[in-house]
A and B are shown apart, each in its own frame.
Chain A
Amino acid sequence: MRVKGQGLLLWAPLLAFVAFFALVAAGLFKPADTAVRSKLIGKALPALTLPPIVPGHPGLTGEERGPRLVNIFASWCVPCAAEVEELARLRARGVVIDGIAVRDTPAELSAFLARHGNPYRAIGSDAESRSMLALGSSGVPETFVVDAAGVIRYQHIGAIGPQDFEAILRAVEDARTI
């Protein structure tokens, strides 16, 4: 025994669920925004002068040139240990990598590099995270792709995993061709 109007009410729950689904799907599939993005993408890399911290590697002088990665890391940072392997792979493909060691000590950093590998050209010591602020970086590890003109082209937040390798390589290739 159906009454007029009852039909519409009966479908209301399903419609409500569809609205919920749409909302949630939008939330799920929008690009993962899990960190504060640097506002410097497309802008010049700030000149960073950071003292050296381990023997055999110069610090950062602000005079570095050429398309490269600038990788913010630390010996106390667990995901950094995992990403060194990917950085080594990138280095094997000819990518130049400059490192910024955040709040680290020479002894621990040397031990870290000896244990996990050392893909870096220069390593600058940033005892107060100033470079992180200058770069708009919000955490460790973080990697920036910089082109020959010193412009930041790409930012990768978090550890570089095997699934990110291709994207970073492509970003470096793009950076080579200005």
Chain B
Amino acid sequence: MIAEAGLAALWLAAALSLLQLVAGGLAVRGVDVASLVRPVAVAQGALAAFAFAALMLVFARTDLSVALVAANSHVDKPMVYKLAGTWGNHEGSMLLWIAVLAVSGAAVAAWERRLPERTMIATLAGQAAIALGFYAFLLIASNPFARLSPAAAEGRGLNPVLQDPGLAFHPPTLYIGYVGLSVAFSFAIGALVTREVGPAFARAMRPWVLGAWVFLTLGITAGSYWAYYELGWGGWWFWDPVENASLMPWLAATALLHSVSVLATRGALSAWTVMLSVVAFSMSMVGTFLVRSGILTSVHSFAVDPTRGAFILLLLSIYVGGALALFALRIGTVREGTLFQPISREGALVANNLLLSAILGIVLVGTLYPLGVEAIAGEKLSVGPPYFNAATGPLALLLVVIMAAGPLLRWRRDRIVALARKVALPAILLAGGLAATLLLAPGLRILPLLGLSIAFGVGVASLAPLWGRSLRRTPLFTWGMVVSHLGIAVALGGMASESAFSRETLVSAAVGETAEVGPYRIRFEGVTPASGRNWTAVEARLTAERGDDVLVLTPQARIFAAPPTETSEAAIATVLDGQLYTVLGKPGADGHWQLRLWWKPFVTLIWLGGGLIALGGLMSLIGRVRRERRPAIWAAFA
């Protein structure tokens, strides 16, 4: 029953999105149906949300007569993971995608009143057009509510690696980010259609972009931390195609949120802002395509199906191709922005956009390269961290340096001398940091070395906009910028430290033996059996000593029942200046056990930095909304 209700709601929502598109299109041309569009958008959002809730309920009850539940859940799973199983598969996650799409469209329809009504109608029509394609995909090629007859007995179970609190909530966060960017895309379409690209458009779009970006930042940060502790290799980013698929929209969205601020406050970079709005959501769609089509397999890939891939590719070409064509046709009619000199805040933001776009291009090329080579030359190859790190590292470092200097430049025109005075202190600290690192830790490779020094200098520089101001009266969105930029410096410091100073020890140890890693001496106390609700394990007990501190770590080698899988659960101890990361390997014939031990100084700064970046974005969002809400509230009540 519930499944059928969910399916019916989905069909109804699809029909409403068609109505929204048609009514919107007609209204833009002057037919008097504009009053339909907003209510229909809200209703569509409600129905899509209902459909998703129905799917969650079906998973919560482990209704094994629904094929999706039978394939992805199990009666014995803890409730949290039963719920998370809703989106741990292709169909469910596509339903999540479309629910977020529809609900964000509904939110825009309900609350956004700052733009001329015609532009808003065009925006909602754009949102409906996108939704329609994905509804079609879902209903035709990926029905989540299909029944299974006869019903399964137990369910195949969710991959044990997914049964983890961090990962359970990582997809929804990411999806709100990815799909939230669709709002920016629709705004751009609406503005191009009605030729309303300007500061008002930028001010209206900004909070939506910030909101999506905050979620995307959190989702990526959480995903990175999850991979770090779950996969047991001590790495936090693998340049896996699906990771890249989440990074590319983030890069575009970061450029977009800077560009939209310039357009909002200075009236410049209108073409950039529109283009980036299109690119950001296009990258979200490209990412979805890459992961679900099977052309690039990765550890994250959903069930591989070329026909689904073809469907998404078709949708992609319609939306992205259409938007880019619209851009080329209409952008010429948008007013040129106000002028600015190269040495100015606008200039720094242009450099910011260029560098982010260049990094985006490098990541995209690296991700698609294996595909291209195989299609053209028939050779199989893989592109991994050596390429990505070497190619993006220097550009990223340059970008971070510009990030420190940019906020200190004046709008329109500034002089190098004035800038030099403001950055003098951070620059000295950077040079000092570089010298200190060279002295204390010789032999580092160039990228981590520069990374450490730059992180230090930029961290201080990011606070510079606050110097000499009354902190209480500094606007919240300025604080937000400071916190986010500081977060980038902190994260960079963590990355460089992990790269430069991590120590690894790999031993085969008998019970009672010790090994050293970094400043710790680890003693292997023994192994005992352990078990949980749907797993059994061998657990090692390790004591780690450093001076007077003693830590106990218990890494496990686990076996899950349904589906039968072996995993390794690393044991991580976090101390003030880093993390001790321990993994239990295989037993040898002589009673020795393999142990892999890492000491990673300051590695937690990576995710702390990510959290700060997102926090800064949230502060900016709240700050902007508070400042601008007053007129809008009156308009909503009028």
Q: A residues bordering B, Cβ < 8 Å?
A: 1-2, 6-7, 10-11, 13-14, 17-18, 20-21, 23-30, 32
Number of chain B residues close to chain A: CB under 8 A: 28
Contact partner of B372 among A7, A13, A14, A23, CB < 8 A?
A23
Q: Are B368 and A11 closer than 8 Å at their CB atoms?
A: no
| Other contacts beyond A1-B336, A10-B327, A21-B313: 9, CB < 8 A | A6-B332, A10-B328, A10-B332, A11-B328, A14-B321, A17-B282, A23-B375, A24-B371, A29-B310
Contact partner of B313 among A14, A18, A28, CB < 8 A?
A28
Please, how many angstroms separate the alpha-carbon atoms of A25 and B293 in the complex?
11
Please, how many angstroms separate the alpha-carbon atoms of A73 and B614 in the complex?
52
Can you report 17 A-B residue pairs in the complex whose CB atoms are below 8 A from each other? A10-B328, A11-B328, A13-B275, A13-B279, A13-B327, A13-B328, A14-B321, A14-B327, A21-B313, A21-B317, A24-B289, A24-B371, A27-B295, A27-B375, A28-B310, A29-B310, A30-B375
Residues in B whose Cβ lies below 8 Å from that of A2:
332
* CB-based nearest A residue for B297: A34
Instruction: Given A27-B295, A30-B375, check contact A14 B324 (CB 8 Å).
Output: yes
Instruction: Decide yes or no whether B374 CB sits under 8 A from chain A.
Output: yes
Instruction: Given A6-B332, A10-B327, A13-B327, check contact A26 B275 (CB 8 Å).
Output: no
Residues in A whose Cβ lies below 8 Å from that of B286:
20
* Shortest Cβ gap from A83 to chain B (Å): 18
Instruction: State the majority secondary structure of interface residues on A.
Output: helix
Please, how many angstroms separate the alpha-carbon atoms of A42 and B368 in the complex?
35
Instruction: Decide yes or no whether B492 CB sits under 8 A from chain A.
Output: no
* Shortest Cβ gap from A166 to chain B (Å): 18
Residues in A whose Cβ lies below 8 Å from that of B293:
28
Q: Are A23 and B368 closer than 8 Å at their CB atoms?
A: yes
Please, how many angstroms separate the alpha-carbon atoms of A28 and B316 in the complex?
14
Please, how many angstroms separate the alpha-carbon atoms of A110 and B306 in the complex?
37
Please, how many angstroms separate the alpha-carbon atoms of A62 and B491 in the complex?
65
* CB-based nearest B residue for A9: B328
Q: Are A28 and B324 closer than 8 Å at their CB atoms?
A: no
* CB-based nearest B residue for A2: B332
User: What 0/1 readout, one digit per residue, does chain B (302-346) give for beta carbons within 8 Å of chain A?
Assistant: 000010011001001100110011011001100010000000000
Please, how many angstroms separate the alpha-carbon atoms of A11 and B327 in the complex?
9
Please, how many angstroms separate the alpha-carbon atoms of A158 and B275 in the complex?
45
Residues in A whose Cβ lies below 8 Å from that of B324:
13-14, 17
Residues in A whose Cβ lies below 8 Å from that of B282:
17
* Shortest Cβ gap from B374 to chain A (Å): 7
* CB-based nearest B residue for A18: B321
Please, how many angstroms separate the alpha-carbon atoms of A165 and B197 in the complex?
57
Give residues of chain B (330-374) contacting chain A, Cβ–Cβ below 8 Å: 331-332, 336, 368, 371-372, 374
Q: Are A24 and B368 closer than 8 Å at their CB atoms?
A: yes
Please, how many angstroms separate the alpha-carbon atoms of A10 and B328 in the complex?
5
Please, how many angstroms separate the alpha-carbon atoms of A24 and B286 in the complex?
10
* CB-based nearest B residue for A30: B375
Max chain B Cβ within 10 angstroms of own Cβ: one of A13, A18, A30: A13
Residues in B whose Cβ lies below 8 Å from that of A10:
327-328, 331-332
Please, how many angstroms separate the alpha-carbon atoms of A29 and B314 in the complex?
13
* Shortest Cβ gap from B601 to chain A (Å): 41
* Shortest Cβ gap from B506 to chain A (Å): 30
Please, how many angstroms separate the alpha-carbon atoms of A32 and B295 in the complex?
9
Please, how many angstroms separate the alpha-carbon atoms of A79 and B383 in the complex?
31
* Shortest Cβ gap from A31 to chain B (Å): 10
User: What 0/1 readout, one digit per residue, does chain B (279-301) give for beta carbons within 8 Å of chain A?
Assistant: 10010001001000111000000
* CB-based nearest A residue for B380: A33
